[in-house]
Structure 1
Amino acid sequence: MQPNFPLPDADALAHSAQLAAGLRDEITRQGGAIPFSRFMELCLYTPGWGYYSAGASKFGASGDFTTAPEMGSLFASTVANALAPVFQQLQGPARLLELGGGSGAFAEAVLLRLAELQALPARYAILEPSADLRERQQQRLRQNLPEALASRVEWLDRPFDDDWEGVVFANEVIDALPTPRFLIKDGEVYEETVELDAQGGFVRGAQPADMLLHQAVRHLERYLKRPFADGYRSELLPQLPYWLQAVAGGLQRGALLFVDYGYNRAEFYQPERDDGTLRAFYRHHVHNEVHLWPGLQDITASVDFTAMAEAGLHAGFDLAGYCSQASFLLGNGLDQCLALADERTDDVGRVQLRDQLKKLTLPSGMGERFQVIGLQREVDFEPAFELGDLSWRL
Structure 2
Amino acid sequence: MTQTTNPPILPTGLADHIAKAIDAAGGWIGFDRFMEMALYTPGWGYYANASRKFGLMPQSGSDFATAPEMSTHFGRALARQVKEALAATGTTEIWEFGAGSGALAHQLLDALGDSVTRYHIVDLSGSLRERQQVRLQAFAGKMNWVAELPAQMRGVVVGNEVLDAMPVKLLARIGNRWHERGVARFQEGFVHADSPTALRPPFEVEGGHDYVTEIHPQAEGFMRTLADRLGAGAAFLLDYGFPEHEYYHPQRSMGTLMCHRGHLADADALADVGDKDITAHVNFTGVALAGQEAGLQVVGYTSQGRFLLNCGLLEGMENASLQDRVMLQKLVNEHEMGELFKVIAFGAKGGPAWEPLGFAAGDRSHTL
With normalisation by structure 1, the TM-score equals 0.85
The match for 1:305 is: 284
The aligned amino acid for 1:104 is G
Deviation at 1:29, TM superposition (A): 1.8
Deviation at 1:230, TM superposition (A): 4.9
Answer yes or no: is the 8 Å Cα contact 1:33–1:194 preserved in 2. yes
Cα distance change, pair 337–172 in 1 and its aligned pair in 2 (3 A):
farther
Q: What's the % identity of the aligned pairs?
A: 37
Answer yes or no: is the 8 Å Cα contact 1:321–1:390 preserved in 2. yes
Give 1:181-260 correspondences, 5 Å limit. Answer: 181-185=170-174, 187-197=176-186, 199-209=187-197, 214=199, 217=201, 219-221=202-204, 229-260=208-239
Answer yes or no: is the 8 Å Cα contact 2:30–2:183 preserved in 1. yes
Deviation at 1:228, TM superposition (A): 6.0
The aligned amino acid for 1:356 is M
Cα distance change, pair 331–18 in 1 and its aligned pair in 2 (3 A):
same
The aligned amino acid for 1:383 is L
Deviation at 1:297, TM superposition (A): 0.4
Deviation at 1:250, TM superposition (A): 2.4
Deviation at 1:229, TM superposition (A): 3.0
Answer yes or no: is the 8 Å Cα contact 1:362–1:368 preserved in 2. yes
The match for 1:329 is: 308
With normalisation by structure 2, the TM-score equals 0.91
The match for 1:27 is: 22
What is the DSSP-based 3-state SS (H/G/I as helix, E as strand, rest coil) of the residue aligned with 1:262?
strand
Answer yes or no: is the 8 Å Cα contact 1:77–1:337 preserved in 2. no
The match for 1:72 is: 71
The aligned amino acid for 2:32 is S
The aligned amino acid for 1:73 is T
More strand by share: 2
Q: Deviations over 1:344-394 (max 9, x none)?
A: xxxxx7222112211111123211111111111313243320121111211
Answer yes or no: is the 8 Å Cα contact 2:214–2:256 preserved in 1. yes
Counterparts of 2:246 and 2:33, CA distance in 1: 26
Deviation at 1:184, TM superposition (A): 2.3
Answer yes or no: is the 8 Å Cα contact 1:375–1:381 preserved in 2. no
Q: 158, 170, 173: which one pairs with 1:169?
A: 158
More helix by share: 1
The aligned amino acid for 1:155 is W
The aligned amino acid for 2:315 is Q
The match for 2:150 is: 160
Unpaired segments ≥5 residues, structure 2: none
Give 1:108-123 correspondences, 5 Å limit. Answer: 108-115=106-113, 120-123=115-118
Give 1:96-175 correspondences, 5 Å limit. Answer: 96-115=94-113, 120-142=115-137, 145=138, 149-162=139-152, 164-175=153-164
Give 1:269-308 correspondences, 5 Å limit. Answer: 269-308=248-287
Alignment RMSD (CA, Å) = 2.1
Q: Deviations over 1:3-49 (max 9, x none)?
A: xxxxxxxxxx99x5321122222212211111111111111011100
Q: Deviations over 1:137-180 (max 9, x none)?
A: 000110xx3xxx43111101111212x32111101111110100
Counterparts of 1:170 and 1:178, CA distance in 2: 16
The match for 1:261 is: 240
1:94 to 2:92 alignment: yes
Q: Deviations over 1:91-143 (max 9, x none)?
A: 3x53210001111110001111112xx5x22211000110000000000110x
Number of aligned residues: 355
Q: Deviations over 1:306-338 (max 9, x none)?
A: 111111201211111111111000001112254
What is the DSSP-based 3-state SS (H/G/I as helix, E as strand, rest coil) of the residue aligned with 1:293?
coil
Counterparts of 1:319 and 1:26, CA distance in 2: 39
Counterparts of 2:266 and 2:355, CA distance in 1: 37
